[in-house]
Structure formats: C-alpha cells, structure tokens
Amino acid sequence: MTDKDMNLFTSLRAAFPEPLDATAIETEDGLCYSWRDLERASAMLANLLESLALPPASRIAVQVEKSVEAVLLYLATLRAGHVFLPLNTAYQSGEIAYFIGNAEPAVVVCSTKNFGWVSKIAFQAGARHVFTLDDDRTGSLLQRAAHCSDQHQPVPRQADDLAAILYTSGTTGRSKGAMLSHGNLLSNARVLQSYWGWRSPEQGGDVLIHALPIFHVHGLFVALHGALINGSRMLWFSRFDARAVVQQLPRATVFMGVPTLYVRMLAEPALDRAACRNMRLFIAGSAPLLIETFQEWEQRTGHTILERYGMSETVMLTSNPYLAAAGPRRGGTVGFPLPGVALRVCGDHGQVLPPGEVGGIQVRGPNVFQGYWRMPEKTREEFTDDGFFRTGDVGLIDAQGYVRIVGRSKDLIISGGYNVYPAEIEACINEMPGVAESAVVGVPHPDFGEVGVAVVIARPGASPQPDAILAALKATLANFKIPKRCHVVPELPRNAMGKVQKNLLRDTYRQLFQPG
C-alpha cells in the first residue's frame, strides 16, 4: 500500500469533462444536472457530513427512492471519507432493524414517509442523526446542506479504506455486510472502462441509459461508476419502464440491465434495429441470461448482448469480450476473467480442476472485498489459505477459456436480479401457527427468470391456508422475497439422511409458470 490518495471520488471527479457545463445526468422529467452541479452539490453534502463531526469511517445508511440527489449523497460520503450503506427500498422494518443494528451507522437517511419508524430504529441503535430525502428534491438533508459551502477538498483515502458496505444474505443466519474499499471499486471501474471500450468525451463520448436501482452493485457501481469515470452522460430513469427506455434508445450508446429488463424490452413492438441504431453496447448480468433471450435480442436488434458475472463481494469478475478480436460473445457463458482477476474451478477437496470439469468457482484480485463486517470467522471460512474467495457459484472453464456458470452451491434464488435466500423465508413460515415445516425452491418464470415457491407441511390437526401464509410473509419481508405460490402438502421428499430433496421439489413445480 502506498501513501497515494486513492479516494474513489477524486478519480471519478478527475474524469468530469471540463469546463463542467455539459449535462452529466438527464432525468426522465427533463431535468438536467451539469458536471458542475454534481461537483458543487456533492461538496455541499460532504460539508454537511463533515460539520456533524462524526468519527472517521462512519457508516451512512441510506434507504431512499432512486434520485440524482441520492447519487450526490453517495459521492459526498466518498468525499468525506465515510462508508456508504445503501438499503433496498423494499426492506421492511424488521429487515431494516437488523441492518442498522448490525452496521451501527452514525447517520441514517430515509424517505419522509418512513421517518417515524426508521428514526426510532436508528436512534435505538445509536445513530446520531436521521435525515430525510425524497425523490422530488425535498427533505431535511437537502435543507441542511443548502447552508453549506460548495467547495470541498476530498478526504485522502488509502486503497484498503472502506468506501461501502453492501449487505448480502447468507444461506444460514442473517445477512452479511460485504466491505468494499476505495481500491476495490476503483480498480474494477478502471478495468471495465477499458475492457468495455468506453469512448472518451473527446471521441464523441458514450451515453448510458441508467434504469437500475442504486442500492446494489449493478446500478450503483457498474453502471454509475462506468459513466462517471468516463465523463459520460446518463439518461436517468427513476424506475425501469420498458416502453420509455426503448423510446430513449436512439439517444443512447450503452445499456445495462438484469435479464428481466431485456425480456420486458423484447415485448415492446418499438424495439427494432432502427431504435438501436446508435447503440454501441448492451450488457447483461446479475442473473443467468436465457439463451432464448440472447438469440431473440440479436435477431430483433442486430446487437449481441455482452453477458458478465459478478457479486456484491467482488464487483465484476468476468466478461464476454467487447472486441471481436478477443473472440465472440457467447450466450450461456459469462466470458473470460477480467484483467487482474484470477479465477479457478476447484473440486470438493480444493484441487484445481482442468478445463471442462465442473466445480466451485474461486476468485482472487484487487476487486475482491475486505471481508464481512464484524464477521471475522465467516470471512476466514470463505477464503482459501492462498487467498481465493469461494463464490458459492458452481461452473466450469471451457476449452476456449470461457466461464460457464452451471449452478450454485449456495441455496439461493435470483428473481428479477434480486437475491432471495430460501432459509430466510422458511424461517418466517416455520414460525407461523399450524406450520410444521417448509421448503422454498426456485422455479423458472418467464418474467423474473426464477421465482420462489413455498411448500408447507401442516402440524397434525392444523390446516394453514396458502393465501394466509403469503399474506403474513408480505407483512414482514421485502415484496420481491415473497414466494409467488404456496402449496400445503402432506410430506416433503427426503433422502436417506432425512434432508429435504429440493431438486425433486423443483422438478415437481418446474412447469408452474410455463406457458401452455
């Protein structure tokens, strides 16, 4: 480690195209934020954070609707040397209480409509300040920042200093906070800038359609950093709307989405070659892209989607090639390890497997996180002795070097790009009156790729109702975690050891959402 300042904000700021007058972000309502607006407004928010005299590297927890102001708060947190902790807007009070209790943020920022319950949780957990921020540029955060100077010198940071904590659920127990440093995020942003051939403003520049949420890696880091570190304009959508995005395609050059976004855009009659005439690159990730979607997209638009693979703990790991000279983009694969990333496939005893053999995917590189927040044991378990991180994904490297993900050793459902951990849902269902046991499995779904189905065993003499079970879950868990169906059955299939055979359950319910 050197003494060189590695504050991520400083590097992003260095790419803002001078003289800062051009539009950096244009919203769907036609609001334009210049690069100067980003510089000054993030300075004001950083000065507000500094005026609070927080301990160094305080966590700033944020659960707000998507807005440019939320981006400014993220940039301000980096500038002020604190640690950004974004939270999915779908999380309910029980989920938020866990995250805030675990991370002990000094500052919590929430929507005005949630202030009552969020502030109670926050102050009980020792937070010093709770601000509000709404998606119409109102709230106490901006009111307070309005009094602050718009000049601010970023706090120097070292590569290993934390920039963000992203909670990612565990297969057992509660969510873990993946600690990402300035060095992790900056190295990944720089690699992607070059690997995906971002065009500098002098070369005519790129225009990114940003239609993803900004509380996960895909929207917050891959998309946002990609545009900022390249000085590229963003067309900003506060929520994904397939029709509106297709309408804006002729004004854009780059799009990033989870597979559901591509499926929904394909259902738009206006999606054709003409709409995509200025597009340079379509990127997909966060969940497996079906080969049918990949092929249909190619036929309709003339563009080959570039699929890549990453995790909250590692940011981006692999990518299909951008340049034709490096090879074709192959559907059903996630491409090659990115420059600087070492990726290997290992067997049950840790032995490195040859190409073509299926095993656990392990990775090492400057992008791999610093560990789980306050979970040194868990962190140690997930790393090998020679410093590789066990991803929990199962795959192979083919003869041409492309990585193919074939499954997961972690019991995880990826629904519309969001991770859902069956263990969390099962624990909630098992607490319900009349329930003896439950199993939640993922099955194919035409829109979300995969969705959860709950299979429940009743206690003797009880008759729990599927609709009541789902309604009770809805009252406690984020909406995307709720299984789309619930079945009460007499027994669960088990192996000789008594373990529930989820693969058999998946087979039983595989056709539930398939047309015809």
- Would you count residue 213 as binding ligand MCA (CB under 6 A)? yes
In sequence order, the 6+-apart residues with CB closer than 8 A to the CB of 110 are: 62, 63, 64, 118, 119, 130, 131, 132, 133
Give 192-195's long-range contacts (Cβ < 8 A, gap of 24+). 192/222, 192/225, 192/226, 192/316, 192/319, 192/338, 193/226, 193/229, 193/230, 194/339, 195/319, 195/322, 195/338, 195/339
Is there binding between residue 9 and ligand MCA (CB under 6 A)? no
From 131, 336, 389, 448, residue interacting with ligand MCA (rule: CB under 6 A): 448
DSSP for residue 325: G
For residue 258 the two structure tokens come to 């989870």
Taking phi first (over 0 means left), then psi (-120 to 50 degrees means alpha), and beta for anything else, what does residue 204 get?
left
Among 311, 375, 412, 435, binds ligand MCA (CB under 6 A): 311
Tell me the window of 69-77, 297-305, 310-318, 490-498 that interacts with ligand MCA (CB under 6 A).
310-318
Query: Is 132 one of the binding residues for ligand MCA (CB under 6 A)?
Result: no
How far apart, in whole angstroms, are the C-alpha atoms of residue 83 and residue 117?
A: 23
Nearest to 122 by CA among 97, 90, 93, 94: 97
Tell me if 145 contacts ligand MCA by CB under 6 A.
Answer: no
Residue closer to ligand AMP, measured from CB, 25 or 287: 287
Which listed option, ligand MCA, ligand AMP, none, makes contact with residue 405 (CB within 5 to 8 Å by class)? ligand AMP
Q: Binding partner of residue 417 among ligand AMP, ligand MCA, none, CB under 5 to 8 Å per kind?
A: ligand MCA
Contact flag: residue 258 with ligand MCA (CB under 6 A)? yes
Contact between 426 and 439 under an 8 Å Cβ cutoff? The reply is: yes
Q: Which residues of this chain interact with ligand AMP, rule CB under 6 A? A: 168, 217, 285-288, 307, 309-312, 334, 391, 393, 405, 408, 414, 419
513 interacts with ligand MCA by CB under 6 A: no
| 175 in contact with ligand MCA (CB under 6 A) | no
Distance, in Å, from the CA atom of 3 to the CA atom of 8, rounded to the nearest integer, reads: 14
Residue 311 or residue 488: which is nearer to ligand AMP going by CB? Answer: 311
Minimum CB separation of residue 55 from ligand AMP in Å reads 28
**Residue 442 sits in the site that holds ligand MCA (CB under 6 A):** no
- Residue 59 touching ligand MCA (CB under 6 A): no
Q: Which residues bind ligand MCA (CB under 6 A)?
A: 212-213, 216-219, 239-240, 258, 260, 285-286, 310-312, 415-418, 448, 451, 479-480
